[in-house]
Structure 1
Amino acid sequence: MTNTSTPINSYLDNVSTPTNYQEPTYKFLVDELFIKLEGANFKQNLGSFSNMTEKKIHIITQFITNFKLHIGHDFFPISKLIFPDKSGRLYFIKDITLARLIIKMYNIPKESEDYQVLFHWKHAFHTTKRFTTDVNNLRDLPLRISRIIANRRQLEFNSDDDKFSISDINDKLDLLNVAKKSHEQIEIMKPLLDKLSIPEVRWFLHILLKKSILTRFEHVLFESWHPQAWELFRICNNLQKTFNYLTDENIVLTPPQLNVQPMYKFRPQLSFKLLQDYSKLINDMSMNIPMDDKFQSLFDKLELKKGEFYMEEKMDGDRMVLHKQGKYFKFYSRRLKDYSFLYGENFEFGSLTKYLNQAFPSKIDSIILDGEMVAWDFKRNAILPFGTLKSSAIQESVRQYTTIDQYEQQSSYPFFLIFDVLHINGMNLTNHPLFFRKNILTQIINPVPHRFEVLPFKIGYTPEEIQNSIKQVISVRSEGIMIKHVQSKYFPGERNPHWIKIKPEYLEKFGENLDLTIIGRIPGIKDAFMCGLKNTSDQSFYSFCTVGNGFTNEEYDKIERITHGKWIKFSKTSQPPPNIIKFGSKKPIEWIHPRDSLVLEIKARSIDNTSEYTYAAGSTLHNLYCRSIRDDKSIHDCCTLEEYQKIKAYYGKDIEKSQFANKKRRKQLQQDSFNGVETKRIKVESDLFKSFQFIIVSDKLNPNGDRITRDELIILVKKYGGTILTSIDNPTYPRLPIIIITEKDLPSCQVYFEKGYDLTRPNWLFECINHQQIIPLEPMFIFKSKNLAKFMSKQDQFGDSFIIHKEIDLSSKLFGLLSDQELRMAKLDFKLDLTELGIEIPKCFLFNDIKCCVVGNGKGVEKLRNRIEKYGGEISEDYLQSSFIIAYQDEDDGSDDRIKSTINDISKSISENVKFDEGSKISKIPNIVTKKFIEVCIERNVIVDADDYKYI
């Protein structure tokens, strides 16, 4: 073993290119890696392997072995094709752009089916998804394009001389990287697409779209190449440096060589949210960590004491890591996006760096700073909400290139607040205690007011000091505070238990964003995904919630691409092993093994404890939606069942109190509505069912998982003239045929069955209503019958109905049949199920049970109040008891200062009324938002994140 202690940054910058025994071909990559990996997605191709994961790992390791044996050690060129999303190229070609390019490239006529498929690719997504018979093509644009090309290009027989090397493909992609006009892109692509084989075309298009081909097996390839390759890549995120440095398996990197380096991007350290009382937090912060004498000496010199901790304001901005090497800068976000072009790459240009000429002492050559990028409004003398940051930076950058007066109207610009230093002049500081790093930071930074400053901090010691800090951030409507152990070290890409964030808890908002693993799917107009929590004690995933809202078409596309071919139909004979996944009473239509899945960031309004057995976790989330797909997280980084239980315990008292009130209210509404009181008042709009008596036994559960309750079916039948019975022993006169409606084999159903009654599915009711006539009973409508043979003549030889041609959308049909008032009474639980499933609910429920206080005197205030009430909200003058305080101002009435003064007074009052319980849990406070919050909620028909529309 060779043990090298050479500083990794000095070596990486001068690394040489390894030599190959022979030039690898593109065909080799496609045949030996891409096609084989895709084939492993199908169970019938597993061979001697027990599962897909085992086979895929074998394929990858065998590919690396063959590469080293027959080709050599220059893996970087081929890695750019294997990891297209990490190659650093920018083609500006998305799926729609690619589809249009292919239309032009092959002169596809408008009247052709190929044109319709390509030109309307996005628009036809759900139609294709629901009705396609070729499920293997589902949302795979490169596959569809490759088939179209195969039918439209001339048939050519390629000789060995026509084989393209990896260098050839990289050269073409480099040209596309600089080609911005469509005719230039077509000139580069068409000769290549005409000569590549069809499988090669398909995977070239995957690369061009920068789709991750290895998905969850990327780290396997890195570690197959070298055991430390993945570790090295995580701190530099550079394919060339990683593969060109680790060419020999005998090279062993030392811990210092795996530290952060200037100009190489890495993920910053993250914090935990407070889920304990302040006394326990202070006890954790009092833990003493043994130190070297030099650190102990500085600790004493700074007059720090055991038990003290840092308190900083948590800023509402974009987490950013600044790198400086000589006169050059780099800015990387939390998710490794490069913002250097926006904030500046040197002292000459950039919305920020051009102001930093005097910010660093001349002796500082290289430095890495961690901080928060915010937008500073110099007219309001305030930090703006997060959403305004990018536009402020762009306009500040543009200003330096133009003299046009319109850019002088811009009143904000980027402001970098620094809270940590990780590297100085070749010295790594991540292993040094925080107080040491803070001390250096205050000495080396020359502040540029409201452009570049060190974030102020306080020293805390008692729970009262934390409480006072929380009250202060509430009074100024700030994000929260950070509590940091004075001796804490810095762990890139990890969460540090000694960095704790404390944020005010808001009404109508569950204070956590949870990263969850998809374990099930319920197909529909919009797919809904069941997510699970991993139980660390038995390593099984427990079903937890179902989310169908918040997904973009691109996210649906990505989920389909990653999980394609891995879904398993849920049935009695095809269920996940309990040591892998545990479901409650709610089952998905399809399930997926967690190892083949991906991670979603879920935001919700509250925890729901009322459905104890619905999910295996014992509770679920209420009014949830997907904020994003977490590419940077694996299933092992997700929230665990144990972590969730701590969160649930933290919010427990509020949950029990609110849900007890909701349950009591719901029970009263049901009693009032269905115990012979309100049902008598239901207006009969049709005599469709007047010739029948009905016994409604069970709820109706649709194939996509949404539920229509028994009470709702009763309302529906009465509205269409039917008579409701409670038992067969209590018929009405004149005697009418009795129809038993059920789709559950309950004990009472067995009694009816034994007496010769046919048990009819609820579908029959909706088909009759849909056709406005009584539909003859067919096998598809029969749940159970002793006379099933007599119904067989009502269908054809293939089992299809002579009358019914398609399934109807039961939920939307129900909403069309019932009034808003009836839905309000009957659909409280139903609303929750629909929200989870992503099914559109009537907008009259949007702000249901939500109090809003509108502050302002503009001409549109009354109109805004009316809109809130129209969509189910309640207007209140008591801002302390309101969920949302909406600051309303007309742009032209000059009320800005007046509204701001009023909101400041309200914020101060809220701060003064904040209370802390014995466990230091803070009472919840209202969200203070702009009128745009209401507008966007109505537009999207969902309660959006109030953080994005805060009033400053």
Structure 2
Amino acid sequence: MDDVANDSGHRLGTRDGGDDDDDDAEEDGARLTSEPSTSGASLRYATARDVPFRKLCGAFEALQNERGRSKATSARRYRVLDTLHDRCLVSARDGTRVDAFDAYRLILPALDKERGAYFLKHDALAKVVVSAFDMSRASEDAKKLEDWKRKGGGNFPQVVRDVLAGGHLADREKDEDARTLTIGDVNEALDALAACDNKDQRASTLRALFSKMDATQVKWTCAIILKETKISMGEKAILRHYHSEANDLWDWTSDLRRVCEDLPRRDFRMKREDIDVGVGLINPQMARRQNSIDAVYRALKGTQFVIETKFDGERIQIHKDGDIINYWTRNMNDFGPRGYDVMNALFRHLPKRCILDGELMVWNKLRDQSYPFGALKNLIKAANMRKAKDELFPLKAHLENRDGGDSDGEEDLMSSKYAWYAENVKKLTYGDLELVYVPFDILYAVDRSVKTHKLRERHELLKEHVREVSVMCGNIRARILLATPDCAFSRVGSTKEDIERALLEAMDNGEEGLVIKDLDGPWIPGDRSNNWMKIKPDYLSSEDLDVVLIGGYYGAGELRGGKISQFLCGIVEATNDPISTASDGVKIMSFCKVGTGISAMQLDDLRSRLGDFMHREKPQDMNYNVTDAYNEKPDVWIWPPQRSLVVTVKGDIRAIRTTTFATGYSLRFPRVTGIRYDKKWSDILTLCDLLKTIEEEVPTLKVNIDDTRGGTNARKRSRTTGPATLLPAHLMPVDVSGVVQESEIFKNMQVHIANCESREQKQELFKAVIARSGTTSELWHKHVTHSVALNRDGSKFRTASREGDVYTIAWLQECIHEGRVVPPKPRHRLHLSATTWYGTDAMDRYGDDHFSDCNLADVHALVHQVGDQTKRWKTAEVPALVELDREYPSVCADVKLLTFRGCVFEIDDSLGKDARVDEQSSMFPSVLAGERRNVEQILRIYGGKLAPEGRMGTHIVRMYDDSVVFEDMDDGRKQVSLSWVKRCIDRSTTADVV
């Protein structure tokens, strides 16, 4: 557009869609007005939809050509927008912009949510362009379009323009259709394109549109379809130019039409409003990326903060307005009508008007962790279709490319995130997955906005108004889990060590990273400041280093328990070129331990390849340079190095001093990024390379790497610069080097300490065990023979208790004091497994050994265990049947005592209208309580479970109401009577009993 380009200091020739005839030829095709513009520019068009599309494309070209960040460049960009605004979008009489939305939905296509999806990504659009211009698929132009990434520098719209301007639309700039095509015409064509059902219809629609355009117009139409109008200006800057309050209104409503219509003039001042329910997505607050823990802690400036798990799910904003529930995504789409409303029952308990901010994810009950995000829509679809619980979940369904894009599902499938599921897909059913919504913030409660409240106050409101409920969505279970500081997903911190510890735990659990939030901060729409920050292992300053595996450690947990899951890595000690064998003098030095970043499939491959070269005892002729420190010593040694494998380790190259590994340095947050099957062990990192890398980092890291040099300055540095540590002191591995053997009372015992009073106590206990010929373990695995703990807190205790008995620290201390393994008494037991007492007459399930004397401490412990175990067994099944059903499900299919397996019962003991009891009798409450206990006992005996208080089950038993024998409820539960229970027991099945 000449007028726009010239005013910005740019002359656009015909090749860029401009003309030299100014605008005289346009006036026949536009509705003009005669009054002058309030801005002083000559008035051209009555509404924005009447503006020729080439004017908009000319402005795009001028903006795209203005590259750089100088003030002069910025001023020229705004001059281009000013000219477009004043000459094309402003009405004559009062400066009101008429139908500005028609123009701005093309200027900012990513913000327009009224128009449906085009289902055209780059590759699919390239094929449509080839078809629209009748190109041969074998022609050079078609090949260039379809190979646009390599041959066109990665800019698809520009490739389209170059191809078309070179021949297909070389002389179209002066064409009448191209000159008179308006913004309104383009919008109508794009509406038709969004309504197309298949690729043939899309090709036909675009062929008709492109026939009226020149090459530059086709270029920008493609950019609009792809929502990639890269014009050197951000969305916020363009909205700010439109109106000074446009960004505020956008943050409250995420509605581009409302922004354009509610702000009709630049001098119009909007009445200050606050967020409201149901009007649209409230622009979500975002987390600012930080590349180091130090940067996070500095930004917090000493304030208290909360550390949350960074979820692998979909950010969903729940708006509840009466019975209407909206599911707003970050892309401003309401997914309620797209099937998400199947979860409405999950949010019915919320206040009448409420807005929640949270994450929706798929939870895998087999592994007790989140499932990869791509499965979410597939599970929503399954809930709507009421898929059977035992039907296999189709792993690849959510990896398929359904929108014409160019992603490769197989690559995703083989990545570490999907690897475990690819291995176990035959074992994964719809019943193994749950829909879990994790609200981490509340923005509106009852009748008021609370976004200005402090985060700690919003957490309290969240706990007050939102319950952790569970419902059935079709045949898929859905539940709410709160992300407040008192739950597994969130914790309060105040020190840098708190962040470091949480990041290490996240890496161990295979999670994405952390989000750290200021507890005193408000909720700011669209903000990306230090109020919320995120950090991932991938953000940290790091380098890729090739190392060789020289040892292995057993893992813990369901997936890695009892298997080599962590490795000791080494580098070459020699500073010259190493030769092919270690026996001639080349040594491998221990460098670091690594266990994250390796998928289950990769781990299995490593175990398979290295299994024959793993030795429990240290080989006599092994030429590894190691320290034999407790935390370095692996469970197995991998020898010889020629038979081992090289892996690439990514870690924070700000190497820390360490006495654990022979190199004297190690890495922070190491993780495997690849297995180098093609690389020889002798070609890995050397100590010389490591020291050189560290020296290069010294100027910025201020680390003294040469603490052996003489001189006053060196001594001064050694006094002022303390050694860096990989972990806070209370997380450092226990160093038991130099322990002298005293006895063999713990021979063949491996002790795992789940928790204790202090790190110092743990160190002393480990030293005492090793001095008495025992071995120790930081984590539980299948070779652990005894687990001890101070209390029942923490994930390590829960892991150990799932596997067997857990004794007290006092028991271990008593064994050490008496010089023998003391038979455990009730006072020594924190947790008693069913296998310990079941099948013997010598002990009951509370740990009381009938043939041993008890002292007063034992009696107190038994009383405590009775309460604890009674609560534990209240909803449990008979242990023998549990094990039998798990191991031999086909055998137990017809066992009468498993009639109600899989059923979770809620008991409703409210009196029915026909119940005939004497309510005035003093015995009345006791009678009801006794009858309820009898019913509960019967349900448990026949394999059922009782729903915990406040949680939903699968069946509601109406004890005193036979009017409803069997009835399906809206939330997926079933109402049943006692007569139904009796008939099921008589028939030994719940199937078809109604």
TM-score with structure 1 setting the length: 0.45
Q: If the length of structure 2 is used for normalisation, what is the TM-score?
A: 0.43
Larger RCO of the pair (alpha carbons < 8 Å, separation 6+): 1
State which structure, 1 or 2, has the greater radius of gyration over its C-alpha atoms.
2
